[in-house]
Amino acid sequence: MLEIPQRLKKEMFDLINKRLISELEEAVYPGEIATKFNSILNDEFKNYSLYPVFVGEYGIDPNSPQKTRVVSHQGTKACSPLKIIEGIIGRAIRTGKDQYVPDVTKDPDHVGCDPTMEGSELVLLSWSEPSIYGNKKIPSIPLGVLDIDLNIKNALTKYDRQRLRAIWDIYGKFIFPGKLRFEAPERVYNPLPYKRNICKNREALKR
């Protein structure tokens, strides 16, 4: 494991925040935002020796909601589609909980799209707003995820994951706007109470 001083991690996240605010100021469309978002994270992870393998988003396929498909990514070739009964992404969606795997070689659920990937994986969920489908009320369920693979074991501390969650709380809402476009199969999804502290605007990143 490569130990990166926490002061450098803080410096990295501060720089990521500044770049996101500056470079996404005029971005409008989800795909455009996702592409720039992934590029910024990927660049800064590289600059601070976190060895990113994959930074990208997977969304639920509205035509086949038991599968996810890549939305945008940087890094190695994406496996797409992925069944949500498999993988760390699928586990996040099924349980309604973010996932952090410090060593993917020890997690039997890990789907190895890149055979050289032997580090850490972080999956952060993005949620729909409560909605009505026909006569049925549907609670918030996952619409997609941010998936980050780093080729270092134990790459992210609790502080790092909190910083990334705060960033994703803001930009995930732009990439996955929150409108449910499919009927959620009850046998697949298990929406759990999920306490989210959603920042209301990008200015929060400047603090």
User: What pLDDT shows up at residue 136?
Assistant: 75
Model confidence at 204, in pLDDT bands (50, 70, 90)?
A: very low
SS3 99: strand
Asked whether the CA dihedral 80, 81, 85, 91 is positive or negative, the reply is positive
SS3 content of the chain, % helix, strand, coil (to 5): 35, 20, 45
Per-residue pLDDT of 3-54, as tens digits, reads 788 889 999 999 999 999 999 998 999 999 999 999 999 999 999 999 999 9
**Rg of the chain taking only CA atoms, in angstroms:** 16
Sign of CA pseudo-dihedral 190, 193, 199, 200: positive
Q: What is the pLDDT of residues 154-180, one digit of tens each?
A: 999 999 999 999 999 999 999 998 776
Percent of the chain having pLDDT more than 70?
84
pLDDT at 180: 67
Q: Is the pLDDT of residue 88 over 90?
A: yes
Per-residue pLDDT at 201: 41
How confident is the model at residue 122, as a pLDDT?
98
pLDDT band of residue 150 (cuts 50, 70, 90) is very high
Q: Which domains does the chain have, with CATH numbers?
A: 6-201 (3.30.450.40)
Bridge partner residues of 148 (DSSP): 55, 122
Average pLDDT, the chain: 86
Structural tokens at position 197: 């502290």
Distance CA 174, CA 159 (A): 24
CA distance 22 to 137: 39
Starting from the edge strand earliest in sequence, which strands make up the sheet with 82-83, in order?
82-83, 67-75, 52-60, 142-150, 120-127, 99-101
